[in-house]
């Protein structure tokens, strides 16, 4: 059976950027597959998204066995259809690990696994489904959600920056290996306010200061919808692969001096 609808798969889909991207593409008429550790967040989404257009699975995407089990369910749900776009968005949101001399290997590994290892494991399992989309004459792409912290840092963010820097490297390595059938790009979000896109119990709408907005050349802090639209652009941009797109309101190109 040939695809009649496009399908997107998003990790870290329960809250924040992942949740916004899931709802954005579902609103465009796509079928959506969402993976997240937070099943409570996924349960909220299940209440609003029909089961024939949305598959939402609790999964630790940084571990091999849970990913393999999730793809068994995905294969049953998709049947002979395909995945057209994979968004590797999972990660630990808090970038601050404390002093390097106090950082345990266990905590270091948690940051690496949640973002970089997860992208490897999920991409590895998704490739056959993405190739199926390309084989049917459609567009197949992967979008890795990196961070501007892959190329710039605040103090004590070693593990987070390393995970995102590794994700940048994985992006160009995948692009040259999987092309021309599958294009692979990365988005580096800057300051994105995800408070309104959390599950109900964690939802917030922070009131930012003028100084917070003014340090962005566009005059505002980013929203998850900005990233969802960038994902859509990269999926549709057929001559773009192996790229790292900063979506940060221009913050990384503005020199900031405290006076």
pLDDT in tens, the chain (259 residues): 344 589 999 999 999 999 999 999 999 999 999 999 999 999 999 999 999 999 999 999 999 999 999 999 999 999 999 999 999 999 999 999 999 999 999 999 999 999 999 999 999 999 999 999 998 878 899 999 999 999 999 899 999 999 999 999 999 999 999 999 999 999 999 989 988 868 788 788 888 888 889 889 999 999 999 999 999 999 999 999 999 999 999 999 987 776 6
Residues 6+ apart with CB under 8 A from 60: 37, 66
107 to 103, 110, 113, 207, 259: CA distances (angstroms): 7, 5, 10, 31, 36
Using CB atoms within 10 Å of the CB of residue 79, give its burial: 0 to 12 exposed, 13 to 18 middle, 19+ buried: exposed
pLDDT score of 3: 47
Q: DSSP string of 37-54?
A: S-HHHHHHHHHHS-TTTE
The burial of 220, by beta-carbon neighbours within 10 Å (0-12 exposed, 13-18 middle, 19 or more buried), is given as: middle
pLDDT (0 to 100) of residue 203: 83
Spatial distance between the Cα atoms of 148 and 107, rounded to a whole number of angstroms: 21
Q: From CA 154, how far away is CA 111, in angstroms rounded?
A: 16
Cα 88 to Cα 71: distance, rounded to the nearest angstrom: 15
pTM, two decimals, is: 0.94
215 within 8 A of 190, measured Cβ to Cβ: no
- Three-class SS state of 141: strand
The residues that are catalytic are: 160
The predicted structure's pLDDT at residue 259: 60
136, two tokens: 């049917």
The span from the CA of 113 to the CA of 128, in Å, is 22
Task: Label residue 31 exposed, middle or buried (CB < 10 Å: 0-12, 13-18, 19+).
Answer: buried
Taking a C-beta distance cutoff of 8 angstroms, is the pair 158, 100 a contact?
Answer: yes
pLDDT of residue 1: 33
**Cα separation, 146 vs 144, whole angstroms:** 6
Q: What is the DSSP string of 201-256?
A: GG-------HHHHHTSTTSS-B-HHHHHHHHHHHHH-TT--S-EEEESTTGGGS--
Helix (H) or strand (E) holding 18: helix 16-27
Element (H, E) at 119: helix 118-135
């Amino acid at each position: 059976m040939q695809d009649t609808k496009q399908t997107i798969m998003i990790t870290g889909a329960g809250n924040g950027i992942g949740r916004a991207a899931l709802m954005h593409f579902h609103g465009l008429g796509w079928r959506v597959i969402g993976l997240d550790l937070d099943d409570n967040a996924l349960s909220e989404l299940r209440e609003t998204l029909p089961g024939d257009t949305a598959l939402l699975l609790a999964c630790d995407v940084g571990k091999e066995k849970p990913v393999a089990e999730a793809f068994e369910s995905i294969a049953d749900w998709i049947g002979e259809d395909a995945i057209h776009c994979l968004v590797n968005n999972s990660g630990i949101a808090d970038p601050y690990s404390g002093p390097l001399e106090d950082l345990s290997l266990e905590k270091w590994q948690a940051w690496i696994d949640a973002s970089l290892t997860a992208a490897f494991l999920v991409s590895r399992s998704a490739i056959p489904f993405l190739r199926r989309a390309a084989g049917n004459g459609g567009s197949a792409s992967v979008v890795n959600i990196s961070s501007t912290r892959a190329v710039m840092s605040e103090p004590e963010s070693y593990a987070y920056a390393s995970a995102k820097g590794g994700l940048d490297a994985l992006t160009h390595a995948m692009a040259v290996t999987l092309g021309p059938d599958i294009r692979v790009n990365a988005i580096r979000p800057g300051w994105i306010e995800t408070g309104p896109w959390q599950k109900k119990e964690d939802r917030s709408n922070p009131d930012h200061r003028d100084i917070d907005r003014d340090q962005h050349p566009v005059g505002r802090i980013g929203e998850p919808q900005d990233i969802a639209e960038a994902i859509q652009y990269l999926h549709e941009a057929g001559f773009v692969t192996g790229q790292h797109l900063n979506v940060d309101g221009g913050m990384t190109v503005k020199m900031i001096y405290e006076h």
